Amino acid sequence: MKKIVMTVAAVALSASAAFGADLRVAAKAPPPPPAPASPWDLAFGGGLMTDYIWRGITQSAHSPSVAAYSELRYNYSSSLQFYGGLSGESISFPNRAAAEIDMYAGVRPTFGPLALDFGYWNYYYPGGQCFFSPYVGGPTNLNCNPALPNGAVAKQNWNFYEVYAKALYTINPQWAVGANYYYSPNILNTGAQGNYVSGTLKFISPWQLWSGVGWYASGEYGEQFLGTSDAFYGTPAFPAGVKYQSYQTWNVGLGVTWKVFTLDVRYYDTNMTAANCAVYTSSQTAAFSTSAISAVNPGGLTSNWCGSTVVGKLSFDLTLDSLK
């Protein structure tokens, strides 16, 4: 009897051991660790606006404009990003260029709440034409069309580049202040140097208008310092080129955000006179005024391109990483 009991116990232990071994074999292996996040990302977006304003001056002759961009980013670390991008906007320039194509690249280091941005921006305006009417004793250009109907002149090539430095300090989740500097040795290919400095302020509301709908208020105040043009834009009194008027510009607006969409309504203005605006922009819509005649503006043209305006813009912005 004792031998029978021991035999049954041995069989039970053997079965239990075999069953346990089967369990160990059948048990699933732990999941592999997640793959490290890619340092590459792509941002892209677009927008529709009632006017395309650049530093207080319309680039679309106060007509609607569309824009789109894509930006490739490489996150070297959590505090250092390299980027390069391509964007385009519809415009209405005096030289009848087809569009504005922007190519840019730079680096964005961050130090806690301080975000910096250093880069290069190239503005390209394909499809332009030359319009010119030489004055007596002035330069000639046999490859140009006659001056525009209002007497304004414009180069075929308005391409130029800028280098820039920007800083943004986030005070808290609601408030941020910024500073910007842009330099071009030949702004809009006029022959004149351009230096632009500005300050920005933004408030992001902690209160939502509706579920998922936020809002913000922001503004910018800056000054565009301008040098002297080349001889193409010279006048009988200043055959080597005219001194452009430097000017102040400002904007303030409100925005509503929902998911990847933003609706922004903004007021823009400058202190540039209508006569000096016509001289700087060569506006094809500028009109004659006897009061505007001067040594730098012998045609007496005035333009509303630099005046006050309100712009509405609907845009979307997202990244590939946000879609995962």
Per-domain residue ranges for the chain?
37-323
- Say what the pLDDT of residue 28 is: 63
Instruction: Identify the CATH homologous superfamily for domain 37-323.
Output: Inverse autotransporter, beta-domain (2.40.160.160)
- The C-alpha atoms of residue 102 and residue 125 are separated, in whole angstroms, by 9
Q: Is 245 exposed, middle or buried (0-12, 13-18, 19+ CB in 10 A)?
A: middle
Contacts for 251 with CB less than 8 Å, ≥ 6 apart = 53, 56, 219, 220, 266, 267, 268, 269
pTM of the model: 0.88
- Say what the pLDDT of residue 183 is: 98
DSSP per-residue codes, 175-207:
EEEEEEEEEESSGGGSS--EEEEEEEEEEE-SS
pLDDT in tens, 59-93: 999 999 999 999 999 999 999 999 999 999 999 99
Q: Which residue in 171, 184, 156, 230 sits closest to 55, CA to CA?
A: 184
Could you tell me which residues are beta bridge partners of residue 268? Answer: 251, 309
Contacts for 20 with CB less than 8 Å, ≥ 6 apart = none
Residues of the chain with pLDDT under 70: 1-29, 35, 136-138, 141-142
Q: Is 170 exposed, middle or buried (0-12, 13-18, 19+ CB in 10 A)?
A: middle
- Say what the pLDDT of residue 29 is: 64
- Do the beta carbons of residue 180 and residue 224 sit within 8 Å? no
Q: Which residue in 106, 213, 241, 94 sits closest to 165, CA to CA?
A: 106
pLDDT in tens, 139-152: 776 689 999 999 99
Q: Is 97 exposed, middle or buried (0-12, 13-18, 19+ CB in 10 A)?
A: buried
212 Rama class: left (phi>0) / alpha (psi -120 to 50) / beta: left
Could you tell me which residues are beta bridge partners of residue 180? Answer: 166, 198
Eight-class DSSP state of 145: B
- Say what the pLDDT of residue 142 is: 65
Q: Is 302 exposed, middle or buried (0-12, 13-18, 19+ CB in 10 A)?
A: buried
- Say what the pLDDT of residue 136 is: 61
Exposure string over 117-154, b if 16+ CB within 10 A, otherwise e:
bebebebbbeebeebbbeeeeeeeeeebbebbebbbbb
